[in-house]
Amino acid sequence: MWKPVRIALYYNDGTKDIVLSEILETEGVPYCRIQDLSGIDHMNVIIIGERSVRDEEAESLKRYVKRGGILVTLKPKNELSGMFNVTDTGRT
């Protein structure tokens, strides 16, 4: 049976990450904007813009991914890079 994909955007106000929202709107992809990571268990995909995440948020994301959630980050900050074994090559 087909289930709708629930996408959440998590980014700081006043940043260029607003483009994420604009892209999804232009393509007609339904999403919701979240202000914190509480209650993410019902989401299928979390997209995080360029922002720092607190330790407890990083742990919450780790549990989310272990349970099968999809996490997309743009330029992940060090706390997420290390947690998911992403190496910074120093290149763009």
Distance CA 39, CA 11 (A): 16
Which of residues 53 and 67 earns the better pLDDT score? 67
Average confidence (pLDDT) over 79-92: 71
Q: Map out the domains of the chain as residue ranges.
A: 7-83
Distance CA 18, CA 4 (A): 23
Q: Which CATH number fits domain 7-83: 3.30.110, 1.10.1760, 3.40.50, 2.60.40?
A: 3.40.50
Distance CA 5, CA 30 (A): 8
Distance CA 74, CA 53 (A): 13
Which of residues 87 and 23 earns the better pLDDT score? 23
Distance CA 33, CA 84 (A): 24
- 54-57 contact pairs (CB < 8 A, 24+): 55/79
The one-letter code for the residue type at 24 is L
Question: How sure is the predictor about 52, in pLDDT bands with cuts at 50, 70 and 90?
Answer: confident
38, 61 contact by CB (below 8 A): no
The overall average pLDDT reported for the chain is 83
* pLDDT of res. 18: 84
